Structure 1
């Protein structure tokens, strides 16, 4: 799968992100030279974790017949140590439904195992970058 990212023609920094049939925007704040026309790449990274945890909980609950009606996830970022190699994310999740305490614990355990959480913490990601002139 490929993701296409291209500068928005009328914006100083903003990018259009095309994923399958979906189009998103990314930008940086005005203080960083952008127009804040969309979430920053860090925001998207953080959101990927939260969305994955929520979707994983919903998928698992549906598969196991656990009555989850709604999931709310808040991701808090502490990037104060990023330049020294530490980027902290905290996920606070709330579920709505008629759940036992055991089911809540089970869902919390499942949320810890979402694929993006694993990518961020246990998988080595190799990235290659090439730069060439546009035709």
Structure 2
């Protein structure tokens, strides 16, 4: 379960609690906010980058590859979002003594990360209910 709670009645920032881990989500200054944390789109985009990094790490460890460093940079093109097209580009940088074949296998693993699949191949059904307090 994930809970999202407004931090201050006069602000826009919210505390996000996930399995005992906490971070702040907010709107951008362009939206009139104090920029106390990433906005929901940035969190969505970051989930993809984190999933790719962790999938690559898991795969490399499982295969005994000499992967030392991973960096994933996610860039967004939301210019056509209202038309139903949301583009994310991920750039994967790998450090370590890796052969060309290992690099190709790690790229293939990154392309199969679970969040990538959720974003592209799964129908997500969302139900929103109002609960009385």
Q: Same fold (TM over 0.5)?
A: yes
Aligned residues: 133
For residues 94 and 70 of structure 1, the distance between their equivalents in structure 2, rounded to whole angstroms, comes to: 8
User: What TM-score comes out, normalization by structure 1 length?
Assistant: 0.95
User: What TM-score comes out, normalization by structure 2 length?
Assistant: 0.96
Asked if 1:40 corresponds to 2:39, the answer is: yes
Report the Cα offset of residue 132 of structure 1.
3.2
Instruction: Report the 3-state secondary structure (helix = DSSP H, G, I; strand = E; otherwise coil) of the residue aligned with 2:67.
Output: coil
Report the Cα offset of residue 11 of structure 1.
4.8
Q: Unmatched 5+ residue regions in structure 2?
A: none
1:94-125 Cα distance to aligned partner (Å, 9 max, x none): 00010100110010001000000000000110
What residue number does 2:75 align with?
76
Maintained 8 Å contact 1:26/1:39:
yes
What residue number does 1:3 align with?
2
For residues 4 and 130 of structure 1, the distance between their equivalents in structure 2, rounded to whole angstroms, comes to: 14
Mapping of 1:1-135 within 5 angstroms? Answer: 2-9=1-8, 11-134=10-133
Query: 4+ residue stretches of structure 1 with deviation over 3 A?
Result: none
For residues 47 and 131 of structure 1, the distance between their equivalents in structure 2, rounded to whole angstroms, comes to: 28
For residues 11 and 68 of structure 1, the distance between their equivalents in structure 2, rounded to whole angstroms, comes to: 47
For residues 131 and 33 of structure 2, the distance between their equivalents in structure 1, rounded to whole angstroms, comes to: 24
Q: Unmatched 5+ residue regions in structure 1?
A: none
Report the Cα offset of residue 130 of structure 1.
1.0
